[in-house]
Each structure stands twice: as structure tokens, then as C-alpha cells.
């Protein structure tokens, strides 16, 4: 007789997608365990198993040539940065029942920076490889294919990403380069001692290497004493191949933070750079309150809320200050009276335009204490209908250069005589009142007799001879 109930019963087959019958009765012909063991032996911790026959494989991306990355919606003039390291490419895979002889692998690429269109194309290439290899194990070949394609940026010449992703890519590239740098040993360019990479810093532009201790002492002292022109690469040969007239690039605030220099010191450095530019700008208006000494709104170098880590990429000019440009001078076309009068008229028109612009912008508001004051009299704002020029002696705003030019023109008119041929102003310094115009550069018209002003009367030499010397 048979027992109604057997002594042992198999568990019911579950319809859950997580169930795999080979967890109970493994098939000796299943090639999936062997392929997973191969991947684990090659990639180690980069392979993360999600279940028995599925998981995630991370592939590092190190580019053979730097890739330019830009932020979207920034136009053609957008800032472009180059990176040599990108976040890893993640392959989510699943080896279904029947792989590899009957069905191919299920692939899903995940990355922070790769366009969706390119990712879908690469996923399809995995299935194509499985077909080309004759429906055999293909995961290692597919991973190798992606690594080779990643070295050339998958054929991309530049990459446009959002602002958040752009910032993350820059940070990742810097960290990857720093990790590679810290594995070496270097000679400090200041103290000349050999130091480990963890104790050194490599300058971002020129790639000179110094120990962190020397850089901190050098930059902290320069910023503390206000010598911000010294906040640059300490190497004497740095920039030696450039033109002598080229401005020296200063260290950016974000690189100072990476050295690291303390944040309050870096903020003082940024403030000193802005203050120097404001002081060099003649249009800057300062708050008349002695306890404030802030700057009026509307200046050429307004305050910014940009973080120190982002300065130096777009928002900060890390170069030595330019000299304040001198206003273009007005010179007469020639030495005639008409030209002199036209020059004087142009100067008066310029002064009138300055005065009109000055009156139009009399209201100034301090950006620190919000004090509203008059640009002309430096008193509390009194309104547009009150003309404070009557009670305050406003000096002329003509530059010193213009005053010197006017004085020079007046001296030439009163103390020189023109050559009758080339009209070059000449003045006697010694000897008699005869002059040979051949000594005047560009004339060469021979001898002439010119009565020079301020030396003898017009009666003594009543004629001006401008003929060529027959001899």
C-alpha cells in the first residue's frame, strides 16, 4: 500500500520573480556561475552582486585626451573646462535563465554624465556582441569594449551638462588627479626638501610643486601684510616664457582653499583685490561716514554672493591690476590759431558733458550702511531740486594731464616762432637770431632768418626769409 502522504514533499514552485529554481537544484550545465566568478576575479570590489545572477559592475573612466565640458544654455561664449577623469560607468546586468545559449544578458548603463542616446546605443552594442560571439559568455568582452570606448570619450569632442553636473565633474576630476598626485614624492621648489605627495601641493596652471608648509607661510604672510601681488606661484621661472608686458596671473581663491589656506584669510584676499580695484577707479564714490568708509552702489566692482570655491573660474579676475587708463587727450591738428580755438572748444564741451553726467548721478547710496548722500557735497541727500554747487566749492574734474597740455600749448604760442616752410615751432637757446632750417628734422629748406620772440624787437629783424639757400 502507498502512503497517502509522502514522507518528503518538494516545496511549491513560486511565481515570484525573485525565485530561481537553481537555488535548490543547480544545473551542472549552467555557465552563469562560472562567468560571475571570472568577473569577480578580474574586477574585484568593482563587482557588486544584487542577487545570484544579477549585479552592478563599475568601470573607471580615464581619458587619453582631456574632454571639454560646458554648461548648457550658456551660449557660444560659455566657459569650457577640460577634465581627464570622469565618474565611473555603472553596468547594471542580469543573466536570465537560458543565458548564454538561448537569451542574451539584460543591460542597463547608469552614469552621471553620459547622454541617454549614447547610453542606449552602448546597451544595444552589448546584445550585438553576444550575437557576434556566437551566443557565448560575453560580459567580460562587453566590459572591455566599454573601457576602450571610454578612453576616447565614446567619440565625443565636448560635453554639455547642467550646472550641478558640471560642478560635480570638475570636483571629481580634481579629486582623481589629487589621488594620483599623492602617490608620488616631490622636491619642494622653496625649501628644496623631498616630500611625500600628501605633504605637497601642485599649482593648477603651471604645475610647479611646493610643500604645503612653505605655501601656507608664504601666502599667509603676503595676505596679512596686504601684498596681494605676491599671491602667485613662488617659482621665479614661472611665466618666464611670456611677454614682459603680460600681466602675472594671481592664485585663485579656490586654489588657496585647496592648499589649504584658512577660509577667513582667503576672504581677506578677495576683499583686498576688490578694494585695490575700487581705489584705482576714479569713478568710485566712498561713503562720507568716517566709521563706515563703504562704497556707493553702482560701482564697477559690485559685491558678489558667489562662493569662494567657484571664484576664479568665471567670476573673478585673478590678474594683477591694470593701471587706470588715461582719458584720451585732445590736441590741435596744427599750430594755427583756428586749431587752438577748436581744441579749447572741445575741452570746454568735455567739461560740460562731465558736469551734466555728474549732476545726473548725484544720489549715491552706500552698499554697507545704506546711507544716502550727495555726490557733490557729500552731505545727506537733499533732493534733485537743490543745487548744492552754490554752497560748496566744487573743483574742476579736469585731469592733471589736460592741464599740462593746455599749459604746454600756451607756452608754445607765446615763446616760439614757426618755420616759414614746415611751420615747426622753434625757440632760440643761444647764439644769434639766424637759424638754418635744415637742422629741423623733416624740413631741409635751407637757411632762413627768423626773429625769435622774447629776445629782440620786431624792428631789428623786420622780415622772415624762407627762401632756399642758393649756395
**Domain end: 128, 151, 174, which one?**
174
**Domain end: 174, 205, 221, which one?**
174
Q: Are residues 387 and 423 in the same domain?
A: no
For the ranges 264-273, 325-334, 378-387, 413-422, the one whose mean pLDDT is highest: 264-273
Q: Are residues 263 and 285 in the same domain?
A: yes
**Residue 6: inside a domain, yes or no?**
no
Tell me which residue range forms the domain holding 378.
326-415
**Residue 5: inside a domain, yes or no?**
no
**Residue 193: inside a domain, yes or no?**
yes
Q: Is the pLDDT of residue 358 over 60?
A: no
Q: In degrees rounded to 5, what are phi and psi of residue 399?
A: -75, 160
Q: Which three cell numbers stand for residue 121?
A: 546605443
**Residue 70: inside a domain, yes or no?**
yes
**Residue 74: inside a domain, yes or no?**
yes
> Which 8-state DSSP code applies to residue 41?
H
Percent of the chain with pLDDT over 90: 14
Q: In degrees rounded to 5, what are phi and psi of residue 372?
A: -95, 125
Domains identified in the chain, total number: 4
Q: Are residues 330 and 299 in the same domain?
A: no
Q: Are residues 121 and 41 in the same domain?
A: yes
Which of these, 351, 332, 328, lies nearest to 340 by C-alpha position?
332
Residue 107 has a pLDDT of: 92
**Residue 3: inside a domain, yes or no?**
no
Give me the CATH number covering residue 81: 3.10.110.10
Q: Are residues 161 and 34 in the same domain?
A: yes
Q: Are residues 37 and 153 in the same domain?
A: yes
Q: Are residues 367 and 239 in the same domain?
A: no
| Whether pTM exceeds 0.85 | no
Which of these, 109, 128, 117, lies nearest to 156 by C-alpha position?
117
The CB-side HSE value for 178 (13 A sphere, CA atoms) comes to 15
Q: In degrees rounded to 5, what are phi and psi of residue 60?
A: -70, 150
Which of these, 384, 257, 312, lies nearest to 81 by C-alpha position?
312
Which of these, 109, 106, 84, lies nearest to 97 by C-alpha position?
106
Q: Are residues 435 and 349 in the same domain?
A: no
DSSP letters, 127-190, are HHHHHHTTSS--HHHHHHHHHHHHHTGGG-SEEEE-HHHHHHHHHHHHHHHHHHHHTSEEE-TT
**Residue 298: inside a domain, yes or no?**
yes
**Residue 446: inside a domain, yes or no?**
yes
Residue 88 has a pLDDT of: 92
Per-residue pLDDT tens over the stretch 264-299:
999 899 888 888 888 888 778 888 888 888 888 877
Q: Is the pLDDT of residue 206 over 80?
A: yes
**CA-to-CA separations, 470 to 432, 435, 444, in angstroms, rounded:** 21, 16, 13
**Domain end: 287, 320, 353, which one?**
320
Q: Are residues 465 and 336 in the same domain?
A: no
Q: How far is CA 363 from the centre of its chain?
A: 34
Q: Are residues 437 and 345 in the same domain?
A: no
Q: Are residues 379 and 422 in the same domain?
A: no
Q: Are residues 50 and 154 in the same domain?
A: yes
Lowest-confidence range among 93-97, 140-144, 451-455? 451-455
Q: Which three cell numbers stand for residue 241?
A: 616664457
Amino acid at each position: 500500500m502507498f502512503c497517502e502522504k509522502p514522507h518528503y514533499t518538494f516545496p511549491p514552485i513560486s511565481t515570484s520573480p525573485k525565485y530561481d529554481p537553481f537555488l535548490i537544484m543547480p544545473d551542472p550545465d549552467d555557465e552563469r556561475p562560472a562567468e560571475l566568478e571570472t568577473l569577480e576575479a578580474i574586477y574585484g570590489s568593482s563587482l557588486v552582486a544584487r542577487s545570484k545572477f544579477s549585479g552592478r559592475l563599475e568601470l573607471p573612466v580615464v581619458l587619453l585626451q582631456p574632454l571639454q565640458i560646458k554648461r548648457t544654455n550658456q551660449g557660444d561664449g560659455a566657459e569650457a573646462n577640460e577634465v581627464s577623469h570622469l565618474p565611473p560607468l555603472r553596468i547594471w546586468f542580469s543573466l536570465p535563465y537560458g543565458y548564454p545559449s538561448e537569451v542574451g544578458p539584460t543591460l542597463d548603463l547608469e552614469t552621471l554624465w553620459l547622454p541617454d542616446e549614447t547610453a542606449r546605443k552602448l546597451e544595444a552594442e552589448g546584445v550585438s556582441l553576444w550575437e557576434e560571439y556566437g551566443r557565448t559568455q560575453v560580459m567580460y568582452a562587453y566590459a572591455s569594449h566599454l573601457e576602450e570606448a571610454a578612453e576616447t570619450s565614446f567619440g565625443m569632442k565636448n560635453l554639455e551638462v547642467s550646472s550641478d553636473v558640471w560642478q560635480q565633474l570638475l570636483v571629481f576630476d580634481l579629486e582623481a588627479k589629487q589621488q594620483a598626485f599623492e602617490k608620488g614624492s616631490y622636491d619642494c621648489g622653496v625649501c628644496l626638501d623631498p616630500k611625500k605627495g600628501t605633504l605637497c601641493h601642485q599649482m593648477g596652471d603651471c604645475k610647479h610643486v611646493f610643500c604645503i608648509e612653505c605655501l601656507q607661510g608664504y601666502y599667509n604672510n603676503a595676505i596679512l601684510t596686504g601684498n596681494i601681488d605676491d599671491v602667485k606661484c613662488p617659482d621665479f621661472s614661472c611665466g618666464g616664457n611670456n611677454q614682459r608686458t603680460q600681466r602675472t596671473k594671481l592664485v585663485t581663491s579656490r586654489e588657496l582653499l585647496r592648499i589649504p589656506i584658512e577660509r577667513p584669510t582667503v576672504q581677506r584676499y578677495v576683499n583686498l583685490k576688490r578694494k585695490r580695484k575700487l581705489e584705482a577707479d576714479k569713478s568710485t564714490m566712498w561713503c562720507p561716514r568716517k566709521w563706515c568708509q563703504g562704497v556707493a552702489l553702482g560701482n564697477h566692482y559690485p559685491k558678489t554672493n558667489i562662493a569662494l570655491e567657484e571664484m576664479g573660474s568665471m567670476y573673478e579676475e585673478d590678474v594683477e591690476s591694470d593701471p587706470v587708463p588715461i582719458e584720451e587727450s585732445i590736441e590741435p591738428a596744427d599750430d594755427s590759431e583756428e586749431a587752438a580755438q577748436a581744441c579749447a572748444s572741445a575741452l570746454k564741451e568735455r567739461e560740460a558733458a562731465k558736469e551734466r553726467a555728474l549732476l545726473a548721478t548725484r544720489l549715491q547710496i552706500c552698499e554697507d550702511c545704506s546711507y544716502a548722500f550727495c555726490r557733490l557735497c557729500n552731505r545727506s541727500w537733499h533732493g534733485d531740486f537743490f543745487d548744492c554747487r552754490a554752497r560748496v566749492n566744487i573743483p574742476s574734474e579736469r585731469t592733471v594731464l589736460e592741464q599740462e597740455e593746455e599749459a604746454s600749448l600756451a607756452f608754445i604760442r607765446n615763446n616760439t616762432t614757426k618755420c616759414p616752410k614746415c611751420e615747426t615751432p622753434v625757440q632760440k637757446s643761444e647764439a644769434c637770431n639766424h637759424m638754418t632750417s635744415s637742422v629741423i628734422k623733416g624740413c631741409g629748406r635751407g637757411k632762413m632768418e627768423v626773429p625769435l620772440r622774447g629776445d629782440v624787437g620786431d624792428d631789428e629783424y623786420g622780415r622772415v626769409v624762407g627762401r632756399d639757400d642758393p649756395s
